[in-house]
Amino acid sequence: MIDTDRSHVLTRVANGLGRLTLNRPRAINALDLGMIHDLHAALDAWERHPGVDLVVLDGEGDRGFCAGGDVRGLREQILSGDPDAAGVFFRAEYALNARIAEYPKPIVALADGATMGGGIGLAGHAAVRVVTERSQLAMPETRIGFTPDVGGSWLLARAPGRVGEYLALTGRTMDAADALYAGFADHLVAADTLEPLREALQNRADPASPTEIVLLFDDTAGAPSLAASRPWIDDAFAADTVAEIIERLRARPEPEAAATADTLGELSPTALTVTLEAVRRARSLPGLRAALAQEYGLVLWFAATQPDLVEGIRAQLVDKDRSPRWSPARLKDVSPGIVADAFAFEPSRPLWG
């Protein structure tokens, strides 16, 4: 057995199983650039390793798989006058997201507990995506004046009906049943059977596939709340603009619809406007790499031009006063050309190449 600790990533190889464990439990395994490099290095080393047939990706601790990326560091880069430095992190992260999706050996992701933002970028593109009764999945970027990335727009665009727009704009957290329903996960496994599952994957009897092994532990999820909410979600979030979505929500009889309208009214008008378009454009893109390239341009546009990103991170994660001052503060004051500007933005360095 090989067992090494590369910074905040544990790597182990035994009986054909390569295990990658995010190891920053105090930060709910939030990703920094070093962790991304270490994950890349392990996957590169194992791609042609004769002693590795499949990979398990999980997180240390009981709080969650991965709470996201280092957005506080992103804020500091912007405030220091160097928003282009953010491109270094995003290029490495997005390359890793694509690497996971395209990896020639099966990757089984165990998204136990909090799995948000960058955590979705790791677990959401794996070959086999496992959640537990403790799982909480979300793309909450609009809550910091930002837009879903790490291939999140690709996953959201493929959710049933208008669930993708709903999840993208509100940043709502999904439990296991909702994650399965929305296409962010494949199997539900009880948290107390994760270790037996890992042992079974390590000691599997050929020719059992990882999916066949996971199915032995598969549990039955309850009814997804998203499915029950589809009538008002599909009606409201089919509207052409965010303002019209809010108008339709307020016209609905369901209390949840009115509460959703209130939530949208508290979020960055710019982030909502751009995110709505991003999810809809992602539906017509040819694949994950194209979605990542679209997201890359958008996130660097936010970093280079939009004060809402810095303000949102301040309000939610730095000062934690939960009282962001958006600019502009009202949807009606968002520039009519903001969407065109955002999607026309050209980063100084391309994502691929």
* CATH number for 272: 3.90.226.10
Q: How confident is the model at residue 262 (pLDDT cuts 50, 70, 90)?
A: very high
Neighbours of 349 (CB within 10 A): 12
Domain membership flag for residue 44:
yes
Q: Is 113 a catalytic residue?
A: no
pLDDT of residue 73: 87
What is the end-to-end Cα distance of the chain in Å, rounded?
Answer: 37
Q: Is 68 a catalytic residue?
A: no
Domains in the chain: how many in total? 1
Element of type H or E holding 229: none
Given a contact cutoff of 8 angstroms between Cβ atoms, the answer to whether 351 and 94 are in contact is yes
Domain membership flag for residue 60:
yes
> Which structural domain range is residue 18 located in?
2-344
Catalytic residue among 18, 69, 87, 124: 69
pLDDT of residue 1: 40
pLDDT (average), residues 201-207: 77
Please say if the pLDDT value at position 3 is more than 50. no
Whole-angstrom distance, CA of residue 57 vs CA of residue 71: 22
Given a contact cutoff of 8 angstroms between Cβ atoms, the answer to whether 282 and 167 are in contact is no
Q: Is the dihedral of CA 283, 286, 292, 296 positive or negative?
A: negative
Q: Which residues pair with 115 in a beta bridge?
A: 66, 137
Domain membership flag for residue 19:
yes
Domain membership flag for residue 350:
no
pLDDT of residue 207: 57
Question: Collapsing DSSP states into helix, strand and coil, what is residue 214?
Answer: helix
Please say if the pLDDT value at position 2 is more than 50. no
Q: What percent of the chain has pLDDT over 90?
A: 91
Q: Is the dihedral of CA 235, 236, 241, 247 positive or negative?
A: positive
Between 56-60, 77-81, 246-250, 265-269, the lowest mean confidence (pLDDT) is in 77-81
Supply φ then ψ for residue 32, to 5 degrees.
-120, 175
Please say if the pLDDT value at position 353 is more than 90. no
Catalytic residue among 60, 141, 165, 175: 141
Longest alpha-carbon distance in the chain: 62
What's at 145, amino acid-wise? G
Domain membership flag for residue 168:
yes
Whole-angstrom distance, CA of residue 272 vs CA of residue 133: 30
pLDDT tens digit sequence for 228-259: 999 999 999 999 999 999 999 999 999 999 99
Domain membership flag for residue 352:
no
Q: What mean pLDDT is reported for the chain?
A: 95
pTM for the predicted model, two decimal places: 0.96
pLDDT (average), residues 24-39: 95
Whole-angstrom distance, CA of residue 122 vs CA of residue 15: 24
Catalytic residue among 149, 165, 235, 295: 149
Please say if the pLDDT value at position 85 is more than 50. yes
Closest CA to 151 of 9, 13, 305, 351: 351
Domain membership flag for residue 353:
no
Domain membership flag for residue 225:
yes
Given a contact cutoff of 8 angstroms between Cβ atoms, the answer to whether 72 and 128 are in contact is no
Catalytic residue among 118, 152, 164, 171: 118
Between 36-45, 75-84, 143-152, 324-333, the lowest mean confidence (pLDDT) is in 75-84
Q: Is 171 a catalytic residue?
A: no
What's at 67, amino acid-wise? A
Whole-angstrom distance, CA of residue 290 vs CA of residue 279: 13
Q: Is 149 a catalytic residue?
A: yes
Q: Report cis status (omega within 30 of 0) of the bond before 328.
A: yes
Between 82-86, 112-116, 285-289, the lowest mean confidence (pLDDT) is in 82-86
Whole-angstrom distance, CA of residue 267 vs CA of residue 170: 8
Please say if the pLDDT value at position 339 is more than 80. yes
